Amino acid sequence: MLFNSLTFVVFFAVVVTAYWTLRSWEARKNLLLIASYLFYGAWNPPFALLLFATTALDFYLGGRIAAADSPGARKAWMWASVAANLSALGFFKYGNFLLENFQWLLARAGVAYQPPHLDVFLPIGISFYVFHSLSYTLDVYRRVCEPTQSLRDFTLAVSFFPQLVAGPIVRAADFLPQLKEARVLKPGQFGWGLALMTLGLFEKVVFADTLLASSADTIFAYRGSLQSLDAWTGVLAFSGQIFFDFAGYSTCAIGAALCLGFNLKDNFRFPYAAVGFSDFWRRWHISLSTFLRDFLYIPLGGNRSGPARAAVNLMIVMFIGGLWHGAAWTFVVWGLIHGGLLVLERALKAAAGEAAWLQNPLVKAGLGLGTFVAVCFAWAFFRATDFPTASRLVRSMAGVLSGDALLSTREIIQVFSVVGGLLLAHWSLRDTSLEAVVARMPRPVIVAIWTLMLCAVILTQGSGNAFIYFQF
Amino acid sequence: MPSSTFNFEREIPSLPWRSLGLAVVLLTVAATAAWEIRCRAWGYAPTLDDTSDLWAEQRRMVKPDSIVVIGDSRALFDTDLDALEQGLGQRPVQLALVGSCAYPILENLANDENFRGTIICSLLPGIFLAPAGPPVENSLTALKRYQKGTIAQRASHRLSLLLEDRLAFIQQEDLTLEQLLKRLPIPNRAHAQLPPRLPPYFYTLDRDRRARMTEQAARPGELQERIKAGWIPLFTPPPPPSYVPKEAFLQGMGQAIEQRFKDIVTSVAKLHSRGGKIVFVRYPFTGELKKMEDAGTPRAGPWTRIIKETGAPGIYFEDHPELASFDCPEWSHLSGPDSVEFTKRLVPHLKKALSTPAVSQQQGQKP
Q: Which residues of B touch A186 (CB under 8 A)?
A: 9, 12
A146: nearest CA partner in chain B = B6
> Would you call A293 an interface residue with chain B, using a CB distance cutoff of 8 Å?
yes
Q: Which residues of B touch A435 (CB under 8 A)?
A: 10-13
Averaged over B42-54, what is the pLDDT?
Answer: 91
> Would you call B4 an interface residue with chain A, using a CB distance cutoff of 8 Å?
yes
Q: Are A43 and A287 in contact (CB under 8 A)?
A: no
Distances (CA, A) of B366 to B65, B312, B358, B363: 19, 11, 6, 8
Q: Tell me how far apart the alpha carbons of residues A211 and A257 are, in angstroms, rounded to a whole number.
A: 28
DSSP-derived secondary structure for A312-349: HHHHHHHHHHHHHH-SSHHHHHHHHHHHHHHHHHHHHH
pLDDT of residue A464: 54
How many Å from the N-terminal Cα to the C-terminal Cα in chain B? Answer: 77
Question: Which residue spans within chain B are E strands per DSSP?
Answer: 67-70, 93-94, 118-122, 203-205, 211-213, 277-282, 314-316
Query: In A, residues 296-325, which contact B (CB 8 Å cutoff)?
Result: none
Q: Running DSSP on this structure, what letter comes out for residue A264? A: -
Give CA angle at B206 (B204, B211), nearest 5°.
45
Q: Nearest CB to A191: which of B17, B31, B32?
A: B17
> Would you call B8 an interface residue with chain A, using a CB distance cutoff of 8 Å?
yes
pLDDT of residue B152: 87
Beta-sheet pairing, B118-122 with B277-282: parallel
User: pLDDT band for position B366 (50/70/90)?
Assistant: very low
> Would you call B185 an interface residue with chain A, using a CB distance cutoff of 8 Å?
no
pTM of the model: 0.89
Question: Which residue spans within A163-305 are E strands per DSSP?
Answer: none
pLDDT of residue A164: 87
AA identity, residue A110: G
B120 closest CA partner among B155, B84, B151: B84
Whether residue B2 is predicted with pLDDT greater than 70 in this model: the reply is no
pLDDT of residue A300: 92
Q: Tell me how far apart the alpha carbons of residues B112 and B358 are, in angstroms, rounded to a whole number.
A: 20
> To the nearest whole angstrom, how far is the Cα of A202 from the nearest Cα of chain B?
12
Q: Nearest CB to B21: which of A187, A194, A460?
A: A194
Q: Report CA dihedral (B253, B257, B259, B260) to the nearest 10 degrees.
A: 140
Percentage with pLDDT > 90 across chain B: 69
Q: Tell me how far apart the alpha carbons of residues B350 and A69 are, in angstroms, rounded to a whole number.
A: 82
Q: Are B50 and B198 in contact (CB under 8 A)?
A: no
Indicate the SS3 state at residue B76: helix
pLDDT of residue A272: 97
CA B104 from chain centre, in angstroms, equals 13
Q: What is the mean pLDDT of each run of 10 residues along chain A (472 residues)?
A: 87 96 95 95 88 95 93 94 92 84 86 74 85 93 92 95 86 91 91 97 94 95 93 97 94 96 94 95 94 93 89 94 90 96 92 81 92 96 94 91 92 97 95 94 96 95 63 60
Size of interface A-B (CB pairs under 8 A): 174
Q: Report CA dihedral (A387, A389, A394, A399) to the nearest 10 degrees.
A: 140
> To the nearest whole angstrom, how far is the Cα of B137 from the nearest Cα of chain A?
14
B13: nearest CA partner in chain A = A439
pLDDT of residue A5: 85
How many other C-beta atoms can be found within 10 angstroms of the C-beta atom of residue B34? Answer: 10
Q: Tell me how far apart the alpha carbons of residues B332 and B289 are, in angstroms, rounded to a whole number.
A: 7
pLDDT of residue B316: 95
What is the per-residue pLDDT across B150-208, written as a single tens digit (0 to 9) for each? 888 898 899 999 999 999 999 888 899 999 999 899 999 988 888 888 888 889 999 99
Percentage with pLDDT > 70 across chain B: 95
Helices and strands: H and E segment counts in chain A: 19, 0
The set of residues, in sequence order, having a beta carbon less than 8 Å from that of A273 and lying 6+ positions away, is A283, A368, A423, A426, A427, A429, A430
Distances (CA, A) of A314 to A344, A374, A389, B179: 11, 18, 27, 46
Q: Nearest CB to B176: which of A142, A177, A461?
A: A461
A253 closest CA partner among A175, A197, A313: A197
Q: Tell me how far apart the alpha carbons of residues A38 and A19 are, in angstroms, rounded to a whole number.
A: 15
One of A117, A132, A285, A325 is an active-site residue; which one?
A325
Q: Tell me how far apart the alpha carbons of residues B286 and B302 are, in angstroms, rounded to a whole number.
A: 19
Q: Tell me how far apart the alpha carbons of residues B151 and B154 are, in angstroms, rounded to a whole number.
A: 5
Q: Tell me how far apart the alpha carbons of residues B329 and B218 are, in angstroms, rounded to a whole number.
A: 5
Whether residue B216 is predicted with pLDDT greater than 70 in this model: the reply is yes
Averaged over B99-110, what is the pLDDT?
Answer: 95
Interface pTM, i.e. ipTM: 0.86
Q: Are B360 and B269 in contact (CB under 8 A)?
A: yes
Q: Report CA dihedral (B79, B82, B87, B89) to the nearest 10 degrees.
A: 120
Q: Nearest CB to B21: which of A191, A206, A435?
A: A191
pLDDT of residue B361: 53
Q: Which residues of B touch A224 (CB under 8 A)?
A: 241-243
Q: Nearest CB to A6: which of B3, B159, B191?
A: B159
> Would you call B29 an interface residue with chain A, using a CB distance cutoff of 8 Å?
no
Q: Are B103 and B260 in contact (CB under 8 A)?
A: yes
Give CA angle at B187 (A203, A232), nearest 5°.
50
Does A285 participate in catalysis according to the annotation? no
Give CA angle at A194 (A189, A197), nearest 5°.
125
Averaged over B127-144, what is the pLDDT?
Answer: 92
Question: Over the Cα atoms of chain A, what is R_g?
Answer: 23
Work out whether the CA dihedral A402, A406, A409, A415 comes out positive or negative: negative
Residue A444, burial from CB neighbour count under 10 angstroms (0-12, 13-18, 19+) = exposed
Query: In B, residues 102-141, which contact A (CB 8 Å cutoff)?
Result: none
pLDDT of residue A463: 61
Q: Tell me how far apart the alpha carbons of residues B179 and B315 are, in angstroms, rounded to a whole number.
A: 37
Question: Over the Cα atoms of chain B, what is R_g?
Answer: 24
The set of residues, in sequence order, having a beta carbon less than 8 Å from that of B249 and lying 6+ positions away, is B240, B241
Q: Could you give phi then psi for residue B70, rounded to 5 degrees?
A: -130, 165
The set of residues, in sequence order, having a beta carbon less than 8 Å from that of B105 and lying 6+ positions away, is B70, B95, B97, B139, B142, B143
Whether residue B4 is predicted with pLDDT greater than 50 in this model: the reply is no
If one compares A112 and B306, the residue with the highest pLDDT of the two is B306
B11: nearest CA partner in chain A = A435
Q: Which residues of B touch A454 (CB under 8 A)?
A: 24, 28
Q: Tell me how far apart the alpha carbons of residues B61 and B77 are, in angstroms, rounded to a whole number.
A: 20
pLDDT of residue B3: 41
Q: Are B270 and A253 in contact (CB under 8 A)?
A: no
The set of residues, in sequence order, having a beta carbon less than 8 Å from that of A252 and lying 6+ positions away, is A3, A162, A196, A197, A200, A201, A204
